[in-house]
Amino acid sequence: MPALHEQLIPVFEEVVNRNPGETEFHQAVREVFESLGPVVAKHPEYAQSSVIGRLCEPERQIIFRVPWVDDAGQVQLNRGFRVEFNSALGPYKGGLRFHPSVYLGIVKFLGFEQIFKNSLTGMPIGGGKGGSDFDPKGKSDAEVMRFCQSFMTELYRHIGEHTDVPAGDTGVGAREIGYLFGQYKRITNRYESGVLTGKGLTWGGSQVRTEATGYGTVFFVHEMLHAAGESIEGRRVVISGSGNVAIYAAEKVRELGGTVIAVSDSGGYVVEEGGIDLELVKDIKLSRRARIEKYAQERGNGARYVTGGSIWEVPCDVALPCATQNELTASDAATLIRNGCKVVAEGANMPSTPDAARAFQEAGLLFAPGKAANAGGVATSALEMQQNASRDSWNFAYTEERLRIIMRGIHDRCLTTADEYGSPGNYVAGANIGGFTRVADAMLAFGVV
Ligand code: NDP
């Protein structure tokens, strides 16, 4: 593990002591701190004003009870979270995750990452994140609706278009955003479109928001390869997950002439050397909400399903981890490098363990961290907010072009910042430092608040 700058050691120790047991949050903070040494050395004002310590302490953390009644008439109980982490650049902005693994440490890691990611987009959005340990899997639509209504019955008092604007994340898609928005509208008696993003297209949503995170990740890959004088055309691509991010990353890879040969879910992965049939994946995962195992059963054509195991065993040129945190370990990284993988871009948040991320950088791969590569989702959410504020709606082509330009901007900002701070070509350093300085400068301007 690389040493931290001496001024950052006590700050990191305090983060660990103040937030016991929140290992994912510690990991996310450490990962950023490992990049900040040259910044602290060049700008002593950040340390003198304790801006870094303040950045690690959320402005507000909300934890609440979410009772609801299942289809059998039984009362069920979940816990809800919203961490309003940093509003230096704009209203708190970040998704809601519904998954049984959600606890405060996960929400804080995601909220912390979100601050830097949102800053990197160059848009006026602060960082926040929320969710619940509710598991939508296997629940009826009516159960999901009752849960969402109960969740919003508490959350509504904390959010607003100028305060905090949640969106979707794992387990929260268009269906959940619909139920959440419906309840918000009912309780407040206001049609406040800008309070949530990821809305349906007929009621205030933006074109391209559904596709944005996956498309944006592939735009970022395109920019990295372009800067290296190469392209995605003809590349073999492996994508973990088969949810929102993975599916639309696969769609854009196909459009740009690459071939997606494997996708996965939490049960295992499927490989089809000639290229995955994306329409079948969409039908299985988005329409039927079934297991990816069905793909091999229904497709034939040489497709095979591997239970458990690691999708990173499949040799590829480009790897896009788009499932969940810490899904790609040091040993997976070693396998990818050994098999000749050239590019890794994180569609998910923190999918590579710290050892894996380091291995990619040491081996000289083009490695894009999630806070840069997957920022297209939140950037398009900010475009949705813009459209809501002006009561306008843009067409698909225009919105996608805006997304493409934003991703190019993030890419270029990473490279220039990495250069400026002595790590040329290092996207991790560029993303962490570029994201940090914009927020830190705003915090300095505001004084001690
Ligand atoms: P979804 O819930 O739509 O999809 C998640 C996918 O990952 C599912 O296919 C799920 O499988 C799979 N998965 C979960 N755990 C594992 C595992 N351990 N191994 C293999 N597959 C697994 O979520 P999203 O696509 O929205 O989000 C994915 C990641 O991207 C998350 O890290 C999220 O924070 C991040 N992200 C999402 C954004 C968005 O706009 N949606 C924006 C920026 C980042 P199963 O079906 O079995 O559960």
The 10s digit of each residue's pLDDT in 103-132 is 999 999 999 999 999 999 999 999 999 999
Q: CB count, 10 Å around CB of 48? A: 10
CATH number reported for the structural domain that contains residue 263 in this entry: 3.40.50.720
Phi and psi at 249, nearest 5°, equal -65, -45
Q: Please tell me the residue having the least CA distance from ligand 1 atom 20.
A: 266
Mean pLDDT over the full length of the chain: 97
41 and 75 share a domain?
no
Domain presence at residue 101: yes
Domain presence at residue 233: yes
- Spacing, Cα 211 to ligand 1 middle (Å): 14
- Spacing, Cα 393 to ligand 1 middle (Å): 28
pLDDT computed for residue 301 by the predictor = 80
Given a cut of 90, is residue 382 above it in pLDDT? yes
49 and 67 share a domain?
no
Domain presence at residue 261: yes
Q: Please tell me the residue having the least CA distance from ligand 1 atom 19.
A: 266
Q: Give the position, in ligand 1's atom list, of the atom nearest the Cα of 242.
A: 9
Q: What is the pTM of this model?
A: 0.96
- Spacing, Cα 347 to ligand 1 middle (Å): 9
Distances (CA, A) of 421 to 4, 42, 113, 357: 16, 9, 21, 19
Domain presence at residue 146: yes
Phi and psi at 270, nearest 5°, equal -115, 145
The 10s digit of each residue's pLDDT in 388-408 is 999 999 999 999 999 999 999
**Encoded amino acid at 115, one letter:** I
Given a cut of 90, is residue 89 above it in pLDDT? yes
Q: Report how many domains make up the chain.
A: 3
Q: Give the position, in ligand 1's atom list, of the atom nearest the Cα of 245.
A: 25
253 and 110 share a domain?
no
322 and 236 share a domain?
yes
- Spacing, Cα 99 to ligand 1 middle (Å): 10
Q: Which structural domain range is residue 50 located in? A: 9-55
Distances (CA, A) of 260 to 84, 202, 210, 221, 249: 37, 32, 20, 14, 9
For residue 66, give both structure tokens. 């979410």
pLDDT computed for residue 1 by the predictor = 81
Mutate to test the pocket of ligand 1, among 109, 245, 350 (most ligand atoms within 8 A of CB): 245
pLDDT computed for residue 277 by the predictor = 97
Q: Please tell me the residue having the least CA distance from ligand 1 atom 38.
A: 169
Active-site annotation, residues: 129
Residues with CB under 6 A from ligand 1: 168-171, 213, 240-246, 264-267, 322-324, 327, 347-349, 374, 377
